Amino acid sequence: MKNDLVIIGGVTAGISSAVKAKLYNPEIKVTVFTEEKHISYAGSGLPYFIGDKNLPNEKLMSSSIVQFGLQDINIKTATRAISINPERKKIMLEDLQTRRKYLRSYDRLIIATGAKPNIPQVAGNNLKGIFALRNIDNSLAIRQYFLEQKPKRALVIGAGYIGLEMIENLLEYNCQVTIIEKASHIIPNMDSDMASFVEDYLESRGVSVFTDTAVNEFRGRTTVKEVITDKLSIPADFVLLSTGVVPNMELAEEAGIELGVNNAIKVNEKMETSLNDIFAAGDCVSTRHLVSGREVYLPMGSTADKQGKVAGENAAGGNAVFKGVLGTGIARVLDMEFSRSGLHEEECIKLGIEFISRKVAAKTAALYSPGSGDMNLKLIAEKNSGRLIGAQIIGYAGAARRIDMLATAITINATVNSLIDMDLAYSSHFSPNWDPVLAALNQF
């Protein structure tokens, strides 16, 4: 039995794999090496950590190093993996505090190196006041910048989940907020007719929104003061780069491991790479889309957690599988919620999938129920089979949580006809008499 498991990476996938490996095989020796000082933190909570000046960073941690020690998992922070020698089963490591380099052998290895911000390669991108948000150190630096510099004009570049969630927290600092998006509409993984509800809402709350707009240059002497785009000039003394991520795949590539779409590490359903005894999981890997069947790169914290568990169990001698993803996501900006799962119309067109879509506008609860809010729901079905292949929700008062029901239906390849007879719970506090999901299904 191969009992010495080494894991590179100490956030979601790395820690998830360590815990699962130890649970599956208590006799296995598990060591985690990570460059960061902080481990096992909730990346999705970073925008709210910035907005709440009194929130300690410990609140973002799921476990401490001491707790992992009690589980007999050895965590080595501030340690960088420099190279992997798969033939000798050794990795070269560097202690970032002492700068000492040394070799460490392994029986099995899990690469969970995550991803890094996709920084626009334009002039001035190294000016002070320009930040990406990927880890706790980034969020602490942003907090400190607001404390010291007190910026008043904030520009968010990229209108995905993190960028939109940051808006609420920038408004907490009394900033004038502008957001720009390179794509033709905000939230590019939703259809434009659904994303427009969020765009209109943001503008009603005083946020300036510019789509189909790309950054050309950042200007300022030492600190950013102005951002030049291909359409207009925007004054800004704080810039958040929310322009997506790219996988940290350099270690794997140099070791000869096969890469896949978006240069992410290619793995099979057991999270095995192309090299024996080396697994990978999390934001550094590609995966399979459950609807299209295609290899995709859709980094999500929830996906990293599940992949880490599979990698950890299998590295400890198990036979678990990870089937794939739907890209299910949910977020909130101020009071408005949005969620999605599966394919959207624009993806279907690109993939050559014939589809039918239906939209309904509804209430989240009975009209007379306190707290009832508006919601808009869109369902997409494959034309010939009637199989549900996509869903999008925009609304208030818990509207977005209905995506879980729809993601379940998409996962099991349910048809719209088979779902019409769902016996959903009813109370006027939680739904109109005719639930919006059933109302949409009956439109087909």
Model confidence over 117-166: pLDDT tens digits? 999 999 999 999 999 998 888 988 999 999 999 999 999 999 999 999 99
> Residues 360, 398: one domain?
yes
Model confidence over 347-373: pLDDT tens digits? 999 999 999 999 999 998 888 888 788
**DSSP classification of residue 344:** -
What CATH number is associated with residue 258?
A: 3.50.50.60
How many domains are there within the chain? 3
| pLDDT score at 64 | 53
- Give the three-state DSSP class for 149: helix
- Residue 126's contacts (CB-CB under 8 Å, 6 or more residues apart) are none
| pLDDT score at 236 | 98
> Residues 400, 252: one domain?
no
> Residues 156, 302: one domain?
no
> Residues 345, 435: one domain?
yes
| Domain end among 198, 224, 241 | 241
Model confidence over 369-396: pLDDT tens digits? 887 889 999 999 999 999 999 999 999 9
> Residues 255, 296: one domain?
yes
For residue 344, is it within any domain?
A: yes
What residues pair up with 296 in beta bridges, in sequence order? 287
For residue 46, is it within any domain?
A: no
366 is in which domain, residue-wise? Answer: 336-442
- The pLDDT-based confidence of 112 (bands split at 50, 70, 90) is very high
| pLDDT score at 368 | 85
> Residues 205, 147: one domain?
yes
Task: Give me the mean pLDDT over the 67-89 stretch.
Answer: 87
Model confidence over 292-312: pLDDT tens digits? 999 999 999 999 999 999 999
Residue 170 and residue 174: Cα distance in Å, rounded?
7
| pLDDT score at 42 | 67
> Residues 224, 259: one domain?
no
What CATH number is associated with residue 398?
A: 3.30.390.30
Residue 50 and residue 255: Cα distance in Å, rounded?
38
Handedness of CA 333, 374, 328, 157 (dihedral sign): negative
Residue 127 and residue 192: Cα distance in Å, rounded?
33
